[in-house]
Amino acid sequence: MKKHDRFIPVPGFKASGVYSGVKKNASKKDLSIIYSEKEAVCAAVFTTNKVKAAPVQINMKNVKNDNTQAIVINSGNANACTGKKGFEDAENMILTTAQKLNLSPNEVLVASTGIIGVPMPMDKILSGIEKAALTLSSAGFEDAAKGILTTDSSSKTVSIEFTLDNKPVVISGMSKGSGMIHPNMATMLGFILTDTSISKEMLQKALKDSVEDSFNMISVDGDTSTNDMVMILANGAADNSSISTNGENYLIFKKALDIVSVELAKMIAQDGEGATKLIEVNLSGGKTEKDAKLCAKSIITSSLVKSAFFGSDANWGRILCSMGYSDGDFNPENVELYFESNKGIIQVVDNGMGIPFDEALAKEILLEEYVKIIVKLKDGEYSAKAWGCDLSYDYVKINGAYRT
Amino acid at 168: P
- The stretch 246-270 carries a mean pLDDT of 95
β-bridge partners, 374? 282, 338
Q: Which residues are tagged catalytic?
A: 187
pLDDT per residue over 67-92, tens digit each?
Answer: 999 999 999 999 999 999 999 999 99
User: CA of 213: how far to CAs of 81, 140, 210, 262, 360, in Å?
Assistant: 30, 29, 6, 7, 34
Range(s) for CATH 3.60.70.12 in the chain? Answer: 2-270
Q: What is the pTM of this model?
A: 0.88
Q: Are 274 and 394 in contact (CB under 8 A)?
A: yes
> In 150-300, where do the E strands start and end?
156-164, 167-176, 189-194, 218-219, 229-234, 278-286
183 three-class SS: coil
Nearest to 348 by CA among 338, 340, 359: 338
Alpha helix stretches (DSSP H) within 217-324: 248-270, 289-301, 303-310, 316-324
- In this predicted structure, what is the pLDDT of residue 183? 45
Correct CATH for 278-400 of 3.10.20.340, 3.60.20.10, 3.40.640.10, 3.10.310.10? 3.10.20.340
Q: Is the dihedral of CA 8, 14, 18, 23 positive or negative?
A: negative
Name the superfamily (CATH) of residues 2-270. L-amino peptidase D-ALA esterase/amidase (3.60.70.12)
The segment(s) of the chain belonging to CATH 3.10.20.340 are 278-400
Nearest-CA neighbor of 71 among 292, 233, 244?
Answer: 233
Average pLDDT over residues 233-238: 98
In tens, the pLDDT along 87-108 reads: 999 999 999 999 999 999 999 9
CB atoms within 10 A of CB 8: 16
